[in-house]
A and B are shown apart, each in its own frame.
Chain A
Amino acid sequence: MSDNPVVPLIIRGQIFTDNLVPMGGRGGDLTFLTPDVNQYLDRLPLYDPCALDNLDSISYEEILDYFVSLGQRLDIKTNRHMQQAYELSCHTAPATPAVLAGSYASIPDYFQRDYMRDMVEPCVDVAQLAGLVDSGPRASGRRVRLRGYGVRALHIIGGNSPEGVGITLLRSAFTRCDSIIKTPSNDPFTAVAIVRSMIDMAPDHPITRHLSVAYWKGGDANFERAIYHPDHLRKVFAWGGHSSVEHIEKYIKGGDIELVLFGPKRSISLIGPQVFEDDALLQEAARRAAFDIGWQNQTTCVNSRITYVQSGTDSAGVERANRIAAAIYEALLALPESVSTRARHTSRDLQSWLQPLFLDDAYRIFGCRDNEGGIIASQYPEPVDFGDQLTDRIANVVPIDSIADMLQWVNHKTKAAGVFPEAYKEEVRNRLFRYGVQQMFSLGFVNNGTVGGPQDNMEVLRRMVDWKMDEDCSSLPFNGFSPPR
C-alpha cells in the first residue's frame, strides 16, 4: 500500500492525509489512498450559512487579482503539485500523456484577466453578486433591491479534461459560493493540485477558505445520506449527466436541494456545399473538421462525433463526401502531439463495433485499424447507430442532400455544432437550435468557445446563486386587508 499515491482531502484551506483508505483500482486502474470522508462529516459541510459573509468583503477586482496571481503559479514547469497531478493523471485520464500535457499547459490560460472578465461580465451584473443592488423605483412605487447570493454548493466534476476544474473554481469564487468539489475516479488529482496551490499562495484568503476537495466512491450511502442534506447544501452541479447522480437522486428528490445537470452531450459538425466548388476550401474544411474531432483526443463533449456534409447523396455526392472524409483523415494524422495523438488503445466497445463495418459496403473506412483514429464514411445518408460511442478520434462522415435530412438525429443531447463555411450557418442555424443544438461555432474552434456563453442551455453563473429580493414598500400606504387597487 505504501507505493500508492496519497490524494489529500482538503476542507476550507486545511489539508488532511490521515484515515487513509484505498480507492480506485478497477479494471487495472491506479489505486490511490485518500482520507475516509466519513471521518470528517463534522466539518466537511458548512453548517452555518452566515460563514459565507466573509466573501462579501472582497471585491470583484480582488477576485480577479487573486486568480491572476494563481494562474502565474500553476505553470507545470515550476509547480510541483501540478507536476505530481500530471504524472498521476497519466495513469487514470482517458487522454494520452502528450495530450494531457497540452491540457495542463493550458490551465493557466483560464486565469488570465481578460478571459475571466469575458466569462463573468457578459453574464451577470457583478455588483449583484457582491451585495443588494437597488434597481430603482418600480411603476407601482416600490423599490426593489436584488442580489444573487452565493450558496453552499457541491460540484460533481468530470474527469475527462482538467479544464473543468478551472471553470468550477472560477464560477464558485465569482458567485461567492462555498463549494465542495467531489472529484471523479478518472481524475482525483487536478483539483487537489490547484487548490493546494491556492493554499500555498493565500492560506487564509476567503476564496481559499471556501473550497473543499474530496474523493469518495459514488454510492457510499452512509456518507451521501449525510452530505446531501438541505440543511447544509443548497445546490448540486453535476457533470456527466445521469451517471454521476444516479446514486444521489434519492437524497435530493423533491427539490429540497437544487440539482443542476450538465450533459453528457455529443457534438457535430456541418460542412456546406460551397466547399466542393474550390479545393482549397475543401482542404480548409477538412483541417478544421479534423481539429474539432481530434482535439484532446475526442474526450470532451464539444468534440465532434458526426460530420454532416451537404454533398448530395447520389453516387457523385457520396464520392464527394468520401473525398472530404479522406482529407479529414489525413488532417487528423497531421495534428500536433499536444493537440491530439494516436490512442493508447481504441475503446473496446468501439473496436467491437468497427469490425463489422470493414465487411460492409455501406461504409468506407479511413484508418481505424491501428489506434490512430480514423473516419467512418457512411455511403448512405445516415450516421452509424453507435454514434454515442465514437471516441479516440474516430468520427463518422455522413453525406446529406439537405439540412432537413439530418434533423432527425439532432436533439437536446446535441451540444455544439461547428459549421463551415460561415455563410452556411444562415441556412442551418434556426433549425439546429430549434431541434436542440445548444451552441454553434465556426468549424475548427472547438477549443476556443466563448466562456461567457451559456452551457447546456443555461446561464450557469446566474443559476449558481440564489436570487433574493428586498422590497421596500415604505412609500406606499398600508391598506390592512383591503385588496390593492
Chain B
Amino acid sequence: MTIKTEAVQLADNPAAFFDHSLTQMQSIDRKRLQALQLEAVKYRFGQLYHQLPKLTQLAEQQGLTEVDDIDDINRLAPLLFEHTMYKSYRQSLLEKHDFAKLNHWLDGLTTHDLSAYDVAGCDSIDAWLALMDEKSPLLIGYTSGTSGKFSLLPISKTEYRKWGQAFRVLVLQRFGEARGKVKHLHAVYPGYRAGSSTQLRANAAVIEHIVGDESRFHAAYPGSMSADLHYLLTRVKVDTGYRYHSSTSPELLKMLERHEIQEQRKPAHLKAFFTRKSKELRGERVLIQATSNLLYEMADAGLRQGVSAVFDPSSIIVTGGGAKGTVLPDDWRDRVTEFAGTDHLQLFYGMSEILGAHGMCEYGHYHVCPWIVPFVIDPNSGEALPRRGVVSGRAAFFDLLADSHWGGLRTGDKITLDWDGFCECGRQTQRIIGGITRYAEEEGGTDKINCGA
C-alpha cells in the first residue's frame, strides 16, 4: 500500500485506520504520521479546493492553487480559516430570519448544495435547523461565543458519524490498555438532552456510539434547548435591553422568563439530579460528562453524606475543565474519583469546529489526535512558526476528518506545543503543554484602560 492510499484511509476514517484502538492512535511512529499527514492534507486540499467557494477564493488570493504547492505542512497555514469565518454572516440575516440568505452564505463553506432547500416558510431558527436536519446532509451546529454572535458550522451527518466512532475510542479506552469486552454504559449529563448547539448535538453521538440506547442516556433536562432562546440569551448577555428588541416574539419572551426561573433553580435541580442518579445507577458503569465544578459539587455533597464508590470501577468521568470562576481545592480530582468509585477521569482540549479531542495524559499534557494536524501561528504576523522545539503562539489545526467543509482553523487560543520532545507517558504524539489561555483575555489584560475600548 502506498503512503498516499494510507493517508486517504487515515483522513476518511481515522477510527478504522487505527483499528479503533486508542493505544494505536497514540503509538504511531511520529515520522510516519508526519508523512501521512502531509499526504492527507494534500488529498483534502485537492478534493475540496474547487468545491468550497470560500476556500477557492482564499487559495487564489494566497496564490496557492496546486496540490503540489503544499510541499510542507506549514505551507497550508495561509489557507486555514479564521474561527470568525463561521460567524461572518450578517447578523441581521439571523435576526430577520432570512434563512435563504444564510443558506447561501453557508453554501460557500460546504460542498453540499443548500440552494435547493425551501426555507422561506421557516419562522424561527429552530424551524430552519429542523428542516435542514431532516432534508439536508448537514446537521448545522451553532456555538455561542462571548461576542453575542453564533458561529454556524456546516458539519455533515457523515462527518458526525465518523467523529462519533473516533470519540468512542477516545472516551472509552485508556492508553496502554487492551480493548476488552465492556458492560453496558449509562451516560449522566447535567444539561439538556437535545438541541442544535454543537455541544448538545454530541449527545446523539454519545447515544449512538457509546451508550447504544436512548434509555441509557440520563439528561438533567430531558427536553430540547431552543436555538432561538439560546440566541436571545446570548444577545441579552451582551445587551441587557435586547429582550425588548422588536424581533423578540411574546412566545420567546415567555420562554426566556421560564428559562431564567429554571436557571435560578439549577443548582438545586442538579444536586437533586446527581443524588437521584447516584442511587438509581448505583453499581452501574456510567459515563459522566460535566464541568469540573459540577463534578466537585456532586462529589462533595455525596461524600459529606458518607456516600462513596458509587459506580462501577470501570466508569468514566469526562471533563473539559471549565470551573467558571470558582476555585476548586487542589484535591478536587481525588474527591471526585473517591465519590464515583473510578479513577478514570479524563480531561480533553478541543473546540466545536474541530472533530477531535486532545486527551490529557497523566503528566498534564494534551496529546494531539493523529487526524488533527496542529500549527502554531505567530500571533502578530499570522505566519506559521517553525515546527521544531517548544513553541508558543496561536493554536491552529487542520482536521483531516472533515470531508465536506474545510478542516483548517485558526483558533483564539494560546498554546505551547512541544514539536520534538517525547512525553514520559509513552504516547508518541506531540503534546500541547498544559495551561491553555485565550488571547482575548490577554489582549484585554488588566488595567489597560482606553476611552474607546
Contact = CB atoms under 8 A, between A and B. Distances in A.
A482 interface: no
A243 B394 CA distance: 25
Contacts of B452: 160, 263-267, 298-303, 391
21 contacts: A26-B442, A27-B442, A27-B445, A94-B450, A158-B450, A160-B452, A160-B453, A240-B453, A241-B453, A262-B451, A263-B451, A264-B451, A266-B452, A299-B452, A345-B381, A348-B443, A349-B440, A355-B58, A358-B61, A360-B88, A386-B147
Which of A262, A267, A302, A362: most chain B CB closer than 10 A?
A: A362
A184 B448 contact: yes
A382 B101 CA distance: 15
Contacts of B446: 26, 185, 217-219
B453 A348 contact: no
B305 interface: no
Interface in B153-193: none
B444 A348 contact: no
Contacts of B439: 348-349
B54 interface: yes
Interface string B70-87: 000000000001111101
Interface in A199-236: 217-219
Contact of B451 (A161, A385, A386): A161
For A94, A356, A358, the residue with the greatest tally of chain B CB atoms inside 10 Å of its CB is: A356
Interface in B53-107: 53-54, 57-58, 61, 81-85, 87-88, 90-92
Given A186-B450, A348-B443, 10 more contacts: A26-B445, A158-B451, A159-B449, A217-B447, A240-B453, A243-B444, A264-B452, A349-B440, A352-B82, A355-B81
B33 to A, nearest CB: 29
A54 interface: no
A185 B445 contact: yes
B382 interface: yes
B84 A356 contact: yes
Interface in A349-402: 349, 351-353, 355-360, 362, 380, 382, 385-386, 391
A302 B450 CA distance: 12
Interface in B105-123: 108
B365 interface: no
A164 B381 CA distance: 31
Interface in A93-132: 94
A82 interface: no
B449 A186 contact: yes
B448 A359 contact: no
Contacts of A184: 447-449
Given A219-B446, A352-B82, A356-B85, A382 B451 contact: no
A27 B58 contact: no
B367 interface: no
Interface residues of A, number: 53
Of all A-B residue pairs in the complex, the 8 with the closest CB atoms, nearest first, are A356-B88, A240-B449, A301-B452, A185-B447, A184-B449, A301-B451, A160-B450, A352-B82
Given A345-B380, A348-B379, A348-B443, A243 B449 contact: yes
B81 to A, nearest CB: 7
Contacts of B58: 355, 358-359
A244 B448 CA distance: 8
A356 B82 contact: yes
Interface centre among B54, B410, B449 (most CB of A within 10 A): B449
Nearest to B88: A356
Interface string B113-147: 00000000000000000000000000000000001
Contacts of A244: 449
Interface string A403-418: 0000000000000000
Contacts of A27: 442-443, 445
B85 A264 contact: no
Nearest to A238: B449
A252 interface: no
A264 B147 CA distance: 17
A343 B166 CA distance: 44
A157 interface: yes
A239 B81 contact: no
B449 A359 contact: no
A240 B91 contact: no
A160 B451 contact: yes
B412 interface: yes
A317 B3 CA distance: 56
Contacts of B448: 159, 184-186
A277 B92 CA distance: 32
Given A217-B447, A218-B446, A382-B92, A351 B382 contact: yes
A192 to B, nearest CB: 15
Interface in B427-450: 439-440, 442-450
A156 interface: yes
Nearest to B78: A355
